[in-house]
């Protein structure tokens, strides 16, 4: 490992450690009670103590996020393909996608929760609504951003619309799609959490947002912090997974993911 990649790991870790230390000292020196701000050690302790309940909730939140992301990717990509094949469809549908995007989720979540019987399904729909737009917007631009020379080449050899879509448009769209997927991943998690806050439903299938809500009401602030930490950690891990997928798909050819060393041959 070279010096540069060491700094990219060591520098943020150092900042994190300094932050934790300051947090601990401020709480300890000022004797702040745990129901206002718990120290980092107490949060860690609570996380381990309440691990079973918190982990069960984490899995639910992950399920909602994952299902919503899958739906957003499948529906969003399909819509993009339709938009690119037909200007009429795009003109007819895109404004509604925009309306869906600009309407705050907290405003429509209650309606969705009333209309959909199963609370889990309702949460998935909310998170999908929150995350589908970047997939549609990016993939549509990507499918259109085709090199005109290559398009001429495909036409010269009599390529069909399907061949142009599969062999030219979809590969051209991949970098745009992955950029959209990163944004959509973060939005799906936010959507899953916000929707559960609005729903406020408990029971056996409650996610991390409900844990936070409950912990807040019962003034179990360390537990609230522990749940919050899990949400953040989940977001970071999901982001890393998507970045890794993107690198895997693009590293051989796209400038955004190609290694820094120049590998040109003459």
Partner 1 sequence: MNSSPNAPAAVDIRGASKTYPNGTRALEPIDLTVREGEFVTIVGPSGCGKSTLLRLIAGLSAPSTGDISLSPGFTPPRLAYVFQSPTLMPWANVRANVRLPLDLAGMARSEAEQATDHVLDLVGLQECARAFPRELSGGMQMRVSIARALATGPRLLLMDEPFGALDEITRNRLDREISELSARENLTVLFVTHSIYEAVFLSSRVLVMSPRPGHIAGEVAIDAPRPRRAAFRNMPEFFARSAQLSEMLGAAMTEAAQ
Residue ranges that bind partner 1, judged by CB under 8 A: 147, 149-150, 152-159, 163, 167-168, 171, 174, 252-255, 258, 263-266
Smallest CA-to-CA distance from 238 within 97, 119, 122, 131 is with 131
| Residue (2 or 266) nearer to partner 1, CB | 266
| 90 token code pair | 């795009």
Q: How far is the CB of 264 from partner 1 (least distance, A)?
A: 6
Are the C-beta atoms of residues 184 and 72 closer than 8 Å to each other? yes
Q: How far is the CB of 94 from partner 1 (least distance, A)?
A: 27
CA distances from 156 to 30, 149, 164, 167 (A): 76, 10, 12, 15
Q: How far is the CB of 171 from partner 1 (least distance, A)?
A: 5
| Residue (118 or 147) nearer to partner 1, CB | 147
| Residue (218 or 256) nearer to partner 1, CB | 256
Helix (H, G, I), strand (E, B) or coil at 7: helix
Q: How far is the CB of 123 from partner 1 (least distance, A)?
A: 37
Q: How far is the CB of 138 from partner 1 (least distance, A)?
A: 17
Smallest CA-to-CA distance from 40 within 213, 228, 217, 190 is with 228
Q: How far is the CB of 29 from partner 1 (least distance, A)?
A: 56
| 74 token code pair | 């499948």
| Residue (21 or 251) nearer to partner 1, CB | 251
How buried is 133 (Cβ within 10 angstroms: 0-12 exposed, 13-18 middle, 19+ buried)?
buried
Q: How far is the CB of 254 from partner 1 (least distance, A)?
A: 7
| Residue (28 or 155) nearer to partner 1, CB | 155
| Residue (59 or 155) nearer to partner 1, CB | 155
Residue 77 to residue 80: CA distance in whole angstroms: 5
Residue 36 to residue 88: CA distance in whole angstroms: 56
| Residue (93 or 170) nearer to partner 1, CB | 170
Residue 121 to residue 67: CA distance in whole angstroms: 9
CA distances from 210 to 35, 36, 155 (A): 18, 20, 56
Residue 48 to residue 93: CA distance in whole angstroms: 48
């Amino acid at each position: 490992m070279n010096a540069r990649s060491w700094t990219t790991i060591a520098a943020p870790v150092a900042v994190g450690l300094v932050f934790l230390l300051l947090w601990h000292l401020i709480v300890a020196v000022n004797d702040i009670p745990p129901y206002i701000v718990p120290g980092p050690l107490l949060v860690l302790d609570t996380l381990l103590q309440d691990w079973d309940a918190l982990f069960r909730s984490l899995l639910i939140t992950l399920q909602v996020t994952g299902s919503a992301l899958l739906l957003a990717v499948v529906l969003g990509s399909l819509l993009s393909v339709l938009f690119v094949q037909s200007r009429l469809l795009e003109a007819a549908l895109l404004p509604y996608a925009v309306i869906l995007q600009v309407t705050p989720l907290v405003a429509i979540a209650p309606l969705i929760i009333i209309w959909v019987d199963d609370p889990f399904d309702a949460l998935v729909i909310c998170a999908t609504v929150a995350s589908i737009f970047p997939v549609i917007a990016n993939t549509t631009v990507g499918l259109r951003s085709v090199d005109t020379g290559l398009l001429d080449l495909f036409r010269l050899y009599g390529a069909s619309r399907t061949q142009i879509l599969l062999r030219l448009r979809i590969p051209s769209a991949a970098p745009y799609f992955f950029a959209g997927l990163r944004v959509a991943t973060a939005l799906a998690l936010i959507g899953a959490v916000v929707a559960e806050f609005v729903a406020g439903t408990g029971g056996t299938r409650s996610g991390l947002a409900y844990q936070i809500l409950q912990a807040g009401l019962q003034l179990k602030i360390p537990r609230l912090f522990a749940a919050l930490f899990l949400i953040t950690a989940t977001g970071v891990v999901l982001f890393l997974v998507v970045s890794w997928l993107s690198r895997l798909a693009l590293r051989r050819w796209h400038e955004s993911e190609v290694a820094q060393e120049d590998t040109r041959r003459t």
